[in-house]
Structure 1
């Protein structure tokens, strides 16, 4: 939805919500989406990230990255992608003053910044002692959807719309079918448009195939990680038992006695005995 040139209003409203909640930018009225064929990138990175690159009417470069699972390298990864987007503005012979503000917005489907309970955190370059801002050219946002509890917003939908332009979008991203979101949709035209676009996408065969492919990749990777972790634990336990058995044999404890005291059989213990 954010990467569709058919619905630029959706991306504009979302970005105004992100920046408006922090009071850092003038209102965005237009965007140019620079990678409308984002589905081509999915084959290389199905299980982790999906990003939308855009330039706003005030020449700000924005990269919205959606992370479905924790890769445990988010900070360095974010700085790397931010630097690539920042550097991409320069061509051979260009002056440095051509560089425009570059922003990375990370939307995470997992909790990452465990030092606080805020669902939206923004980082910029500052002087450590005085908090003086060095430059506004760099800005990095972390938005953590699991930190939102939609139950606490029931009955407060009108207040949400009036006080926080970002929160309706995050609730929508977390659960577009929730009762809270349905009420809010009636008050925000762009959010209603997003819901309609999502409905169309849900019935699109190609979009469904891509979605299911991504889900399968995620489940497969989780299974692989769990399987590898189980093997590592079992291997570690095995190595520990073998060390104990060697110590017992060195100290003169008989094979039959060791069989009774461990989970190993006589043949396994005899094999270990040969290694001493």
Structure 2
């Protein structure tokens, strides 16, 4: 569905698939339409020293949805954990903050539905937690780490839009430790809900893209949401910020379109191969095998064109070992 049609139908606007020009993005900005989960805009809104009250309110809403006592203060931390590497992978986090009570909180916004996102988010959490440990440090000095992931896609089945995970006993549910916590917010699921009832839902409704004129009166009058809307106007008035946003948004749309094209090609090739084999082995089994071969064929073509192994794994869902095996096969 095209953006204009989605807007006429009253849907909350997200990043549609398909190429987009800088002129089209500029036209949207002239109409005051901002994709609020865009990396540049999100950091403009929440990642600056003068925006600390706004970020603190967002974090407390996401971590303490029941309105219980939350964090009182924090300091922004270095967002790039380039020194923390596992198998050569650097970790780039959107916003990282050290709370007054010692808790580390990172907020990650993700618009691309990676096949391995659950594994990625667990990696980010463990990397950030381990970054506290200096040479000769004590494990007893490690502070709680909370990793928050705001998603522009549905990651889990079911209708719940907020999920919180920690270390606990599988059988009894007894919590082992509160030191590691993963929180996922699936924005599209909340967008189908009704009138927001609390701060968590205020922020999700805002991030989902609801226009100010369509927001409930209480939400518009909320000091923090009102401040966010005012900062949007400031953002739109800055030529420098707009240019950065255009570059970032265009790159995001292009990447998402490329992802979907690869998925469709792999799916089509897989179905074609699967149908042929299905005559001999049964349709269900044939489809599964064919799809796997289609994905492998796509991966081989990407490798032959010089695409890195990590990118191939990200786009196809193959494991690093599987991609490496295909690369070796090409060499032979």
TM (norm. structure 2) is 0.60
Partner of 2:241: 207
Matches within 5 A, 1:39-58: 51-58=94-101
Matched, 1:81 2:124: yes
The one of 183, 196, 220 equivalent to 2:217 is: 183
What is the DSSP-based 3-state SS (H/G/I as helix, E as strand, rest coil) of the residue aligned with 1:166? helix
Matches within 5 A, 1:191-202: 191-202=225-236
Q: Over the residues paired in the alignment, what is the CA RMSD in angstroms? A: 2.8
Relative to 1, partners in 2 of residues 1:179 and 1:2: Cα closer, same or farther, differing over 3 Å?
Answer: same
Relative to 1, partners in 2 of residues 1:232 and 1:5: Cα closer, same or farther, differing over 3 Å?
Answer: same
Partner of 1:18: 62
1:30/1:57 contact within 8 Å kept? yes
Question: Larger radius of gyration, structure 1 or 2?
Answer: 1
Matched, 1:2 2:36: no
1:28/1:57 contact within 8 Å kept? yes
Partner of 2:147: 104
1:4/1:36 contact within 8 Å kept? no
Instruction: Please say which of residues 177-186 and 123-132 is displaced more in the overlay.
Output: 177-186
Distance in 2 (CA, whole Å) between partners of 1:237 and 1:111 is: 25
Partner of 1:70: 113
1:241 CA drift (Å):
11
What is the DSSP-based 3-state SS (H/G/I as helix, E as strand, rest coil) of the residue aligned with 2:181? strand
1:121 CA drift (Å):
0.8
Relative to 1, partners in 2 of residues 1:123 and 1:192: Cα closer, same or farther, differing over 3 Å?
Answer: same
TM (norm. structure 1) is 0.71
Distance in 2 (CA, whole Å) between partners of 1:86 and 1:238 is: 46
The one of 17, 34, 59 equivalent to 2:102 is: 59
Q: Structure 1 regions of 5+ residues with no counterpart?
A: 38-48, 244-276
Partner of 1:139: 181
Instruction: Please say which of residues 216-225 and 60-69 is displaced more in the overlay.
Output: 216-225
What is the DSSP-based 3-state SS (H/G/I as helix, E as strand, rest coil) of the residue aligned with 2:75? strand
2:79/2:93 contact within 8 Å kept? no
Q: Structure 2 regions of 5+ residues with no counterpart?
A: 1-44, 81-91, 278-332
1:228 CA drift (Å):
3.5
The one of 113, 117, 127 equivalent to 2:159 is: 117
| Number of residue pairs aligned between Structure 1 and Structure 2 | 222
Distance in 1 (CA, whole Å) between partners of 2:191 and 2:274 is: 44
What is the DSSP-based 3-state SS (H/G/I as helix, E as strand, rest coil) of the residue aligned with 1:221? helix
Deviations 1:184-227 (A, max 9, x none): 34442122112211221122222212221222112222332344
1:168/1:184 contact within 8 Å kept? no
The one of 29, 33, 37 equivalent to 2:76 is: 33
